[in-house]
């Protein structure tokens, strides 16, 4: 079962960006602190982890097919939303 912090971030992303099951390649039921989602075209992989992070913060890695990944060690939910908006909005 996901930690409350991870579940809240996941649920927010699913609701905010209308994520469907085909965009969730790995929910990692055994990992309580992480999940992955794809953009709609499945060209960008987004990894989110709350492991060892304070409330409201997470680790974010955005993996692109055609350029270097972006990594954010401590990003709050508002910045997470702003970073993912152009990637996940249809």
Q: Where are the domains of the chain?
A: 4-88
Q: Tokens for 43, please give them.
A: 């060209």
**How far is the C-alpha of 90 from the C-alpha of 31, rounded, in Å?**
29
Instruction: Answer whether residue 1 shows pLDDT above 90.
Output: no
- Helices then strands, each counted (H, E), the chain: 2, 4
Write the pLDDT tens digit of every residue in 7-18.
999 999 999 999
Q: Tokens for 1, please give them.
A: 């079962």
**Residue 12 phi, psi (nearest 5):** -65, -45
Write the pLDDT tens digit of every residue in 17-73.
999 988 998 776 778 999 999 999 999 999 999 999 988 899 999 999 999 999 999
Instruction: Return the sign of the alpha-carbon dihedral for residues 78, 31, 40, 46.
Output: positive
**How far is the C-alpha of 79 from the C-alpha of 42, rounded, in Å?**
22
The pLDDT assigned to 26 comes to 77
């Amino acid at each position: 079962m996901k930690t409350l912090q991870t579940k809240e971030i996941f649920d927010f992303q699913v609701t905010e960006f209308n994520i469907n099951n085909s965009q969730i390649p790995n929910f990692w039921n055994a990992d309580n602190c992480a999940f992955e989602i794809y953009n709609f075209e499945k060209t960008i992989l987004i990894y989110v982890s709350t492991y060892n992070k304070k409330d409201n913060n997470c680790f974010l890695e955005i993996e692109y097919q055609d350029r270097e990944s972006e990594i954010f060690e401590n990003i709050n939910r508002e910045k997470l939303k702003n970073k993912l908006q152009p990637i996940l909005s249809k």
